[in-house]
Amino acid sequence: MSKSYKIAVFYYTQTQQLLNILKSLLAPLEAEGYKVIYKAIEPVVPFSFPWTSDRFYQAFPETRQEIVFENKEIDFSDVSDADLVIMGYQPWFLSPSIPFSSFLQQQTTQNYLNGKMVMTVVGSRNMWISAHDSVEWHFFKANCNWIGNIVLEDRHNNLVSVLTIFRWLIDGQKEASRYLPEAGVSQQDIDSLAALAPDLSYALENKDYKTLQTKIADKGFVAFHDNLYLIERTGYKMFGFWSKWILEKGPYMSEARKFRLTLFKYYLMAVIFVISPFGTLFFNLTYPLRKSSLQSVRNKYVYLHH
Ligand SMILES: Cc1cc2nc3c(=O)[nH]c(=O)nc-3n(C[C@H](O)[C@H](O)[C@H](O)COP(=O)(O)O)c2cc1C
């Protein structure tokens, strides 16, 4: 059996979480002799980590409108013949992160992806659906074959993970504190991803990409929650209005838009802590009515039915 397969891995990560996820998946293949080439996506002006509250909200309008920021140039020459392209990304404000979205929109990337087999790996808090839709659109334009999608998330309750992610992103504390657990995807989930390596290997060696997503889903490596889906859909639309309204006041980091960003911040807190718990209650009460219509949505996201 030939092991000369080449996998190109493009990723952006601020905390290294996503790189750890990718390495867990790919280390067993590298050990078997697959050539795995990692290519970091790096913005020319980095988004420094941890964030300040101010910079965090300043990134919102451009993220939601997918405004392109300049990335350092990536050399594709040693991966032009890759058998598989893996793209690691994370949602920011329900859209693909600025560095990843910018990378996807670059003409060089679009040209590179043409005709390629592509798999995505997402490291999120728990809301990745709208970002996925946007990625689908960029992949469609690039004319590539999307063969698999892995989504790891923070499994804690939605409200708990909001608190811990702010502690992580803004205070830099990932570790558990007195009343709150560790932030992010658990180490156990990251480690367990290695169990998918044989399925990936099977798909590559047999050129059988059709069953890969079912295996990913059946092993529980794509997290989908009906109630969060509904909250996210509404949130994504509202973010569209907010981002345009804030952008009217000025570009990224401008002082002139600070007041509107502050209003957005309060809106976001109210949605998360006041409105979404009622949304979840409403969802639970009406679940029997929605169950069958949500099934096709679930198929789209979990089984990658386009
Ligand atoms: C500005 C910002 C916005 C984020 N918004 C979301 C979101 O909408 N949904 C979500 O599941 N996670 C969100 N996250 C968490 C990230 O997707 C990611 O899991 C986390 O930041 C880990 O960072 P890394 O992948 O860059 O290492 C956000 C993070 C940042 C920095």
Atom of ligand 1 nearest to the CA of 51: 31
Q: Atom 6 of ligand 1 has which residue's CA nearest to it?
A: 92
- CA proximity to 64, closest of 28, 13, 112, 101: 101
- Taking only the tens place, the pLDDT of each residue in 141-163 is 999 999 999 999 999 999 999 99
| 132 contacts 99 by C-beta, under 8 angstroms | no
Q: How far apart are CA 2 and CA 19, in angstroms?
A: 27
Do 181 and 93 have their domain in common? yes
Do 187 and 274 have their domain in common? no
Do 161 and 58 have their domain in common? yes
pTM of this prediction exceeds 0.95 = yes
196, 224, 252 - which closes a domain: 224
Q: Is the CB of 94 under 6 A from ligand 1?
A: yes
In a domain, 305, yes or no: no
User: The CATH number of the domain where 113 resides is what?
Assistant: 3.40.50.360
**Angle ∠(277,281,287) on CA atoms, nearest 5:** 135
Residue span of the structural domain in which 253 resides: 226-300
Q: Is the CB of 130 under 6 A from ligand 1?
A: no
- CA proximity to 39, closest of 5, 68, 14, 75: 75
Q: How far apart are CA 126 and CA 175, in angstroms?
A: 18
Q: How far apart are CA 186 and CA 173, in angstroms?
A: 15
Do 141 and 161 have their domain in common? yes
In a domain, 1, yes or no: no
In a domain, 149, yes or no: yes
199, 224, 249 - which closes a domain: 224
Q: Bridge-partner residues for 149, per DSSP?
A: 120
In a domain, 243, yes or no: yes
- Taking only the tens place, the pLDDT of each residue in 120-142 is 999 999 999 999 999 999 999 99
Q: Which two tokens stand for residue 146?
A: 């999307």
Do 280 and 220 have their domain in common? no
In a domain, 271, yes or no: yes
